[in-house]
Structure 1
Amino acid sequence: MTAAHDSSASGTKRTPGPRVLVVVVAGLTLAVSLMLLAFAAPAVNSGAHDLPVAVSGPDPALANLEAALDASSPGGFDVTRYADAAAVADAITARDAVGGISITPDGVLIQTAAAAGAPYAPLLRSIGAGLAAKGQPMTYTDLVPLTEDDPAGSGLSALALPLAFGGMISAVGLVTLFKHSRTLRVVGSIGFSAVAGVTITAILQFWLGSIDGSFWLTATGVALGIAAISLVVLGLESLFGYPGLGIGAVIMVFVANPLSGLATGPWWLPQPWGAIGQFLPIGAAGTAIRSAAFFDGAGAGPALVVLGGWIAVGLALVALSARRATRDEVLVAA
């Protein structure tokens, strides 16, 4: 009787004590605090940081303009001189500049591209207002406007979460369903990314009217963004197990997402974080998608290379885990 009682008692799981509760509370508090910092710090410290601005005009007038820009926002502008207003326009549409100021015999021409990011056109218009206050005749031209259905660019700005969530949830679902087949996981990830890329682009272009560029080029950018996240997370899980999913979530959701500059472009974020974000999947995908949707693909090359690199890393991790599993099986058989 006593032995049976002792056996039953020893088999009962012990409830964690107050110390464990304190550790859990402290850990969760730290996690939400870091989450707040990850998302809020870039936003709070955002502003003009080496914004590429194209200018043209007589040298003395440009010297005065550059001095005025530097005085208004030290370190805020990276000014490049061009031959004339047409060359400035080419730089903007090629995504070498977010906007331009040309001093001509007829006054000052400010050329913008609203599709380049939310803050830039209003910023250049505010500069124009300052010049107008000094008696300068002003002309404004938006070379690459947003669509009439979405003049604020909200649809494109909201893409960060679908990209991160799509990549993460597909990886988790495939790991759960195909526990013993790396091949099916990879094929499923690529297939889902392709279908999701087409679907999301169709919603943005034909339902919400947020974009009006090349459908297939934009869909490719979306698909590559999701695939880069999904395959890397799959690779991390294949190599490290479920902790790999946690590592992937931290990288993609708490690092890549807030540093993506999806709504503003990288120049509006504090540096070097804006530049770092462009080497992560969501930032690179955002640049590729914006270039495809509004600029006929101009400026998408480096972003596509980054996405291809992340996809290659994910596939390499999966291959490495498969090789390790084969080696372990051989050792067990021996």
Structure 2
Amino acid sequence: MTDTTATASRASSEGRRVALLVLGLTALLGIMLTAFALPAIHSGAKGDVPIGVVAAPPAADQLTQRLGGSFDVTVYPDAQAARQAILHRDSYGALVVTPGHLEVMVATAASTAVAQAITQVGTGVAAALHVSPSVTEVRGFPAGDPRGAGLSAGALPLALGGWIGAVLIMQLIASSRSRIVAVFAFAVVGGFALTAIIQFGFGTFDGNYLLTSLAAALGIAATAMGVLGLRELFGNIGLVIAAVALILLGNPLSGLTSAPEMLPAPWGFIGQLLPPGATGALLRDVALFDGWGATHGLIVLVCWLVVGLAFYALGLRRQASKDIEPSAQPDETAATVDAAH
């Protein structure tokens, strides 16, 4: 009777665990679907996308008011200044109004989605002003990948690669120092390999291969070291935190398929503070815009790298303290016995 009761109790307990696991996994799938789908569904110009306007004062004021609900408008003195702003990553495009004509300046390399949105807006403005429009591509992707699909597709492999790489390094390498060496070696080799695939295989980049590879290496190092540090300091919970930051949030909020400014606030800003978004932006700026606008991505990735190293060192120190404590107990016991005698 006792054995039967125990068996029934174990079966009931296991059934509850199965039910909780199924419910937890279902909730996780729902959260993942929401995280991936909502930014795409609600993306669009919402007043944060920088755009330039070149026009005479009355027309410039009218355009600023008309575009203000969808774009962050800056008035430039001439077309050359607007072009420089685009190339320096201060603006995604510009509308240049001259008598009888409207020139729509876009930079597909900055964002295909934003370039399309600016083109549509420019066409509407030209119709309202009864002038003829034209579209000027200030900086596009190379002919091998005119839509920049190679860059957009790189966010998830980067996030997964950094996470998986860190986990494998922890599983296969025992030495703490060797793990750090492995992370940086993986980052350098992986960075050069990743850039070679995107630049020479896909044709997405046409910039300096060495500098772009170093930018990719920094992204991989920051990602992997962040995972390693979180795992060492917080255990398996750290791996969960890393997976959420890199995959569940970092990938859909990276803005690589549209632009950070087109995501619902504050998600676009948050995405640029995570390695996938920061690495994607850094690669775009270095490979396609000669490094203009790269400061933010550099700062974010260096912070992830430094914090990851700090977490790793703190985790090792805590583990070393735990290892010392048990060995001290016999000595303390012996000292107590000697004192009693």
Q: What is the TM-score normalised by the length of structure 1? A: 0.91
Alpha-carbon distance between aligned partners in 1 of 2:241 and 2:63, rounded to the nearest angstrom: 48
Alpha-carbon distance between aligned partners in 2 of 1:188 and 1:312, rounded to the nearest angstrom: 16
Is residue 2:19 matched to residue 1:22? yes
The match for 2:266 among 244, 265, 272 is: 272
CA shift digits 1:131-175 (9 cap, x unpaired): 332421223211101111111111011011111111011111011
Alpha-carbon distance between aligned partners in 2 of 1:288 and 1:17, rounded to the nearest angstrom: 48
- Report the counterpart of residue 317 of structure 1 in structure 2: 311
1:132–1:138 contact (8 Å) kept in structure 2: yes
2:105–2:135 contact (8 Å) kept in structure 1: yes
2:114–2:259 contact (8 Å) kept in structure 1: no
- Report the counterpart of residue 46 of structure 1 in structure 2: 43
Is residue 2:206 matched to residue 1:212? yes
**Change in CA separation of 1:330 and 1:21 when aligned onto 2, cut-off 3 Å:** closer
2:253 aligned counterpart, secondary structure: coil
The match for 1:55 among 40, 53, 57 is: 53
Alpha-carbon distance between aligned partners in 2 of 1:298 and 1:42, rounded to the nearest angstrom: 26
Is residue 2:181 matched to residue 1:183? no
CA shift digits 1:57-95 (9 cap, x unpaired): 21101111122224xxx2x21001111110000000000
Is residue 2:138 matched to residue 1:143? yes
- Report the counterpart of residue 155 of structure 1 in structure 2: 150
Shift of 1:276: 1.2
Alpha-carbon distance between aligned partners in 2 of 1:195 and 1:17, rounded to the nearest angstrom: 46
Alpha-carbon distance between aligned partners in 1 of 2:303 and 2:270, rounded to the nearest angstrom: 15
Alpha-carbon distance between aligned partners in 2 of 1:132 and 1:324, rounded to the nearest angstrom: 66
2:109 aligned counterpart, secondary structure: helix
Q: Which consecutive residues of structure 1, in runs of 5 or more, have no partner in the other structure?
A: 1-5
Shift of 1:105: 3.7
Q: What is the TM-score normalised by the length of structure 2? A: 0.90
Alpha-carbon distance between aligned partners in 2 of 1:117 and 1:305, rounded to the nearest angstrom: 22
RMSD: 2.1
Is residue 2:242 matched to residue 1:254? no
**Change in CA separation of 1:95 and 1:209 when aligned onto 2, cut-off 3 Å:** same
1:184 aligned counterpart, secondary structure: helix
Counterpart of 1:33, as a letter, is: G
- Report the counterpart of residue 170 of structure 1 in structure 2: 165
Once the two structures are overlaid, the 10-residue window that deviates more, 21-30 or 159-168, is: 21-30
The match for 1:290 among 284, 289, 297 is: 284
Alpha-carbon distance between aligned partners in 1 of 2:237 and 2:66, rounded to the nearest angstrom: 52
> How many pairs align?
323
1:265–1:287 contact (8 Å) kept in structure 2: no
2:112 aligned counterpart, secondary structure: coil
Shift of 1:186: 1.1
Q: Which consecutive residues of structure 2, in runs of 5 or more, have no partner in the other structure?
A: 329-341
Shift of 1:107: 2.1
Greater gyration radius: 2
CA shift digits 1:212-233 (9 cap, x unpaired): 1111221122111111111011
Once the two structures are overlaid, the 10-residue window that deviates more, 264-273 or 129-138, is: 129-138
1:193–1:223 contact (8 Å) kept in structure 2: yes
Alpha-carbon distance between aligned partners in 1 of 2:266 and 2:211, rounded to the nearest angstrom: 29
CA shift digits 1:104-134 (9 cap, x unpaired): 2452221110000121221121122213324
